[in-house]
């Protein structure tokens, strides 16, 4: 059987760690050349590059914030110039800060919304326009079960991730006219830096709620994501798939 992503060119936000790194590695293993951005950790980015190249695939890494619109424009031009095209975009990068609404500062609110919502716009727009011109492409947005269920998560994070739901569904309508697919994954809590930034009490409660009885492994989401953005997934668009180990709240 051929690889899921043979010959594909992918861009993944936040690829230096956590879910992003797992996505980079699994996509490379499945045959894709992979570009990614990262915020600051150059050593971690080099490790991700090595994981991609281990499978004989091309890797491109960019120290570019998802909120830096001018730098994003240059980055996208360089990626397309090097790869020749982009078939897959995964919007994975996000930030969170454990907080209650009553103590959330305006600065914290704006920081989370800027990264998780405005960053989604800044990254997607240039890649989306490229995909429309080539009449093909696949966009996958990583959101959260915190956007769907009344979990004890931060209000600013849940609000931003809820915006991702509407973004995914409405964009899929426009995209479908040009052969572009847009879907999302509502992720539970995974064994990542972001997951471990949550209070220990919340993580312990989650493991009790979760049918699997544990946090998710990053590669478990990446394996499913690879299918979602592959040519074998031909009749799904505008959907948000929950991947949370079977939480029962």
Q: Which two tokens stand for residue 80?
A: 């397309």
Give the whole-angstrom CA distance, residue 190 versus residue 35: 23
Tell me which residue of 184, 189, 151 sits closest to 167, measured CA to CA. Answer: 184
Marked catalytic residue, from 38, 122, 157, 206: 157
Catalytic (active site) residue 157: yes
Neighbours of 235 (CB within 10 A): 5
Cβ-based neighbour number of residue 244 at 10 Å: 23
Tokens in use for 66?
């998802």
Q: Which residues pair with 144 in a beta bridge?
A: 187
**22 closest CA partner among 160, 245, 218, 237:** 218
80: left (phi over 0), alpha (psi -120 to 50) or beta: alpha
Is-contact 36 62, C-beta < 8 A? yes
CA–CA gap between residue 210 and residue 85 (Å, rounded): 40
Residue 120 CA to residue 195 CA, distance in Å, equals: 20
Q: Which residues contact 235 (CB under 8 A, 6 or more apart)?
A: none
Q: Which active-site residues does the annotation give?
A: 157
């Amino acid at each position: 059987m051929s690889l899921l992503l043979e010959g594909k060119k992918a861009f993944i936000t936040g690829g230096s760690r956590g879910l992003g790194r797992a996505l980079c590695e699994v996509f490379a293993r499945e045959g894709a050349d992979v570009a990614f951005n990262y915020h600051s950790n150059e050593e971690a980015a080099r490790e991700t590059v090595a994981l991609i190249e281990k499978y004989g695939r091309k890797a491109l890494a960019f120290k570019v914030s998802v909120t830096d619109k001018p730098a994003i424009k240059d980055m996208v031009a360089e990626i397309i110039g090097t790869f020749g095209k982009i078939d897959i975009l995964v919007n994975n990068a996000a930030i969170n800060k454990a907080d209650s609404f009553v103590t959330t500062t305006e600065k914290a609110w704006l920081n989370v919304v800027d990264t998780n919502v405005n960053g989604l716009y800044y990254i997607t727009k240039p890649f989306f326009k490229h995909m429309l011109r080539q009449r093909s492409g696949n966009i996958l947005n990583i959101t959260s079960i915190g956007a769907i269920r009344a979990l004890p998560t931060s209000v600013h994070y849940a609000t931003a991730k809820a915006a991702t739901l509407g973004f995914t569904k409405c964009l899929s309508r426009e995209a479908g006219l040009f052969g572009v697919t847009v879907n999302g994954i509502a992720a539970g809590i995974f064994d990542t830096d972001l997951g471990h930034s949550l209070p220990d009490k919340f993580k312990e409660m989650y493991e009790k709620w979760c049918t699997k009885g544990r946090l998710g492994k990053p590669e478990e989401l990446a394996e499913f994501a690879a299918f979602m953005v592959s040519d074998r997934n031909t009749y799904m668009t505008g959907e948000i798939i929950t991947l949370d180990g079977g939480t029962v709240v």
